[in-house]
Amino acid sequence: MVGPKLASYSETMATTSKFAVGRLDHVHIRVPNRAEAARWYADHLGFEPVEKFEFWANGFRGGPLQISADGGDTMLALFEATDSHPMIPQKTGVAFSMDAERFMSFIRSLPGELDSPHGRPLVATDVIDFDMCWAIDLVDPWGNQYELNCYEYDLIKTDLIDRDGIVPTRYWPRELYDQHIEG
Each domain of the chain, given as residue ranges in start order, spans 24-84, 90-183
Cβ-contact 139, 90 below 8 angstroms = no
CB atoms within 10 A of CB 115: 16
Range from 16-30, 61-75, 100-114, 124-138 carrying the lowest mean pLDDT:
16-30
Q: Which pLDDT tens digit goes with each residue over 61-73?
A: 778 899 999 999 8
Confidence of residue 176 (pLDDT cuts 50, 70, 90): confident
Give the rounded percent of residues in the chain with a pLDDT score beyond 90: 43
* Best CA proximity match to 133, nearest among 147, 155, 149: 149
On whether the 24-84 domain is CATH 3.30.720, my answer is yes
Q: Which helix (H) or strand (E) holds 11?
A: helix 9-15
CA distances from 85 to 31, 56, 57, 65, 130 (A): 11, 17, 16, 16, 37
| Residue 171 CA to its chain's centroid (Å) | 17
Beta bridge partners of 149: 97, 135
Is residue 19 predicted with pLDDT exceeding 50?
A: no
Is residue 180 predicted with pLDDT exceeding 80?
A: no
* Best CA proximity match to 56, nearest among 36, 77, 35, 28: 77
Mean pLDDT of 57-61: 77
Is residue 95 predicted with pLDDT exceeding 90?
A: no
Range from 42-51, 66-75, 76-85 carrying the lowest mean pLDDT:
76-85
Is residue 167 predicted with pLDDT exceeding 90?
A: yes
* pLDDT at residue 32, rounded to an integer: 87
CA distances from 21 to 15, 25, 132, 158 (A): 17, 10, 23, 35
